[in-house]
Amino acid sequence: MSRFGGRLREYPQLSIDRFDHDNLRARAYFLSHCHKDHMKGLRAPALRRRLQSSLKVKLYCSPVTKELLLTNSKYEFWENHIVALEVETPTQISLVDETTGEKEDIEVTLLPAGHCPGSVMFLFQGENGTVLYTGDFRLAKGEAARMELLHSGTRVKDIQSVYLDTTFCDPRFYHIPSREECLNGILELVRSWTSLSRYHVVWLNCKAAYGYEYLFINLSEELGIKVHVNRLDMFKNMPEILYHITTDRYTQIHACRHPKDDDYFRGNRLPCGITCQNGTPLHVISIKPSTMWFGERIKKTNVIVRTGESTYRACFSFHSSYSEIKDFLSYICPVNVYPNVLPVGGSEDKVMEILQPLCRSYRRNTEPRYKPLGTLKRACKRNLSDTDEDELFDTEPTFARPKIAKYQGEESKPSKTAQSENAEGNINESTESYRANTTYTSLKVDFVDCEESNDDDDDDDDDKEDDSEKNTAQVLSHEPDANSLASCNGISSKQQESNADIPRWDMFFKCNKVDESSENEDNFPSSADAGGSQSLFSDSDGVSDSTHISSQNSSQSTHISEQGSQGWDSQIDTVLIASQERNAADFGYFSRCGSRTALPSHETPMDGQADNNRWKPLGQNPSCASDVICDLKIEDCDEDAEAGTASAQDLLVEISDSSRTPDLELKRDFQSSSDFEIPLTPEAEIPQRDKLHYLYKKLAAGESIMRKNSPEKR
DNA sequence: GCGATCAGGT
DNA sequence: CACACCTGATCGC
């Protein structure tokens, strides 16, 4: 939960995500997303009164956030005071003090944050420097490098301070499976269950919060089953969401809620109240999205855990993992960082020990840092003259930091006014004392021991595993065990070969940061962590390893048996879902721009681009409209339903490799970033695996890399 | 009656 | 162990 007090040291006239206490005097308000813990004071009478007596004060947010906010009648009074800013469109804002007439201009840019629909980060540029407030965010590794507006020319902007979402800034949360991995796990589970019969339904036990929409959309798109929800009026102007949710209770996927929904579920009743259809009782499983995390060197990354006869937990995270946070911050490399959140169990000290070494003031700048993403993912043809920053040293490699602009000479001492006026600024103040009193040793904290998964009952196993590895070398590989991965996934020997040959950065370059050695992690999804035993499923009873079908077992199929035909203990043996790593290995990268529906929530206004169509047409096949697909699939479902009366054995579904639709196969190969509309760098492409290999070799040989245009590029 | 805060729940 | 809520009790206005 955010503990940010609302104000930036550099621009105390602004209030962000806090609207109480001294924030009542702000000249402008900003809301990063529509979660309650970022809306404190937003509907309080005090602020309401202020609005009534002011002509100038505005609330700035993304178009989606505005829409979501105004659909809630409690916030309707904001209507004439909200300004929706388009994402990734720098906007000049005049900050006027209405009592003195004093005026100051600031430029703000909204950047997609990948946290929930409409969620953005705010990049402020003004006379006190460039400051990034991340709000809550989940960005995969390397996504900062793809954000054009974080760059100036070919380099990262010179950012004075980052106010950072540090929810999972603790090595315990080293790795959280990517959005794609989680989505695929849930998709397979839901597919397996719902295809048993039309009376097999799934209840997604989601919390009351925005952020699950992309899950609903993807399930609906893939399975042709709309998701039942309590309300959909907030999405009335977001057809790309609206199309996939419904208030019709007679659907096989539910995300509806009821105050006593757990009791309902125990009685085989959905939160919306239904227990049967056409007189036939429903068979309900629940899937509870929850954050699962894994330590640095964990060998397995199950994204689905069975917690009971018909209950599952599925990995799902709104926030960046520890390694994602570090990747993000080290890419930005600001002068200062301030945590917005204190991770539970973590102290301010610990967080700052982790973050400070990634900041400029504490970073050794004698040693060049190689920034693979900064160069690979961005086109390097730009003329240096189009930058607005000091780029005199154009002979420097592009990973070098830009020079520090003049206003940074003082290391940005927080302004006294900011501190004294900020009643909620306790975090900031203690942070300040940090900088004054503590010397941070760079790099050491990158390699602290990591605890393992949050799986309730297999902690022991994990700990042992972890212990045995505690004192190993610091440079860590997140590359997959290619052989076991390959056999696990049943891929051909040729593919195996190329997989085993995946070039590693640390083979060619001296990496001094763990993040960089695992830079490719998201490109080779959790295969990076795939050791011997990996599947999407596990049971939470501590015998998960033994119940997984071994990675050596190449006969991949997905089974879910009808309950009742066997005890759930034995049933677990039939529960297996092909790990998505195979898909990654089979198809390598796939540009999200190359497929149809695809794009998990590609059209989802997750980043506030509901009104921005520029991504929508990309690669979409008009003859393949999702309407048609959904209709067809619904028909299929109806036919399948006839089989619903057959015996349990007959109902076993087997999703063989070949039975997967091409669409799905393609879709799975998107980078984890594809859930959000993080734009690719203009003219950049996501290299295919073999091509990447080739590029790496050239890089290692010191040759220049020529870029070819990819035909499916947008 | 409303809001703020806290405890306890999922 | 998380998050992002929700409900209910209590207190103050």
Q: For residue A549, is pLDDT > 90? A: no
Residues A178-206 have pLDDT tens digits of: 999 999 999 999 999 999 999 999 999 99
Can you tell me the mean pLDDT for A149-159? 97
Residue A76 pLDDT: 94
Give distance CA A201 / C1' B8 (Å): 31
Give distance CA A370 / C1' C8 (Å): 55
Q: Which nucleotide is nearest to A20 (CA to C1')?
A: B4
Q: Which nucleotide is nearest to A288 (CA to C1')?
A: B10
Residue type, A331: Y
Grade residue A348 by pLDDT with cuts at 50, 70 and 90: confident
Give distance CA A40 / C1' C8 (Å): 20
Residue A184 pLDDT: 95
Please give the protein residue whose CA is closest to the C1' of the nucleotide C7.
A259
Q: Which nucleotide is nearest to A37 (CA to C1')?
A: C4
Give distance CA A455 / C1' B4 (Å): 36
Can you tell me the mean pLDDT for A320-326? 97
Among the residues of A336-443, which ranges form H helices?
Answer: 348-355, 372-376, 416-421, 426-437
Q: For residue A672, is pLDDT > 50? A: no
Q: How far apart are CA A236 and CA A247, in angstroms?
A: 13
Domain boundaries, chain A: 14-173+323-364, 179-316
Q: For residue A337, is pLDDT > 60? A: yes
Asked if the Cβ of residue A45 lies within 7 A of any atom of strand C, the reply is no
Can you tell me the mean pLDDT for A347-374? 72
Q: How far apart are CA A173 and CA A166, in angstroms?
A: 11
Q: For residue A589, is pLDDT > 50? A: no
Between A408 and A88, the more confident residue is A88
Topology, domain A14-173+323-364: Metallo-beta-lactamase; Chain A (3.60.15)
Asked if A231 and A257 count as a contact pair (C-beta separation under 8 A), the reply is: no
Q: Which two tokens stand for residue A108?
A: 């703000």
DSSP string for residues in A593-649:
GG-SS-HHHHTSGGGS-TT-GGGTTTT--GGG-HHHHHHHHHHHHHHHHHGGGS-HH
In degrees rounded to 5, what are phi and psi of residue A16? Answer: -125, 125
Residues A377-406 have pLDDT tens digits of: 543 333 433 333 333 333 333 333 332 233
Asked if the Cβ of residue A231 lies within 7 A of any atom of strand C, the reply is no
Q: How far apart are CA A623 and CA A166, in angstroms?
A: 44
Q: For residue A460, is pLDDT > 90? A: no
Which residues fall within 8 angstroms of residue A454, CB to CB, at 6 or more apart? A291, A292, A293
Q: How many C-alpha atoms does A51 have within 13 Å on its Cβ side? A: 20
Asked if the Cβ of residue A464 lies within 7 A of any atom of strand C, the reply is no
Can you tell me the mean pLDDT for A260-283? 94
Topology, domain A179-316: Rossmann fold (3.40.50)
Residue A634 pLDDT: 33
With CA atoms as reference, report the closest residue to A134 among A109, A165, A166, A159. A165
In degrees rounded to 5, what are phi and psi of residue A291? Answer: -75, 130
Residue A605 pLDDT: 58
Residue A695 pLDDT: 63
Residues A155-171 have pLDDT tens digits of: 999 999 999 999 999 99
Give distance CA A50 / C1' B3 (Å): 17
Burial class (CB in 10 A: 0-12, 13-18, 19+), A395: exposed
Can you tell me the mean pLDDT for A26-41? 97
Asked if A164 and A355 count as a contact pair (C-beta separation under 8 A), the reply is: yes
With CA atoms as reference, report the closest residue to A437 among A360, A349, A334, A363. A349
Asked if A556 and A535 count as a contact pair (C-beta separation under 8 A), the reply is: no
Q: How far apart are CA A410 and CA A389, in angstroms?
A: 19
Asked if A300 and A538 count as a contact pair (C-beta separation under 8 A), the reply is: yes
Residue A87 pLDDT: 98
Highest mean pLDDT among A87-101, A515-529, A591-605: A87-101
Geometric angle at alpha carbon A68, from A64 and A72, rounded to 5°: 160
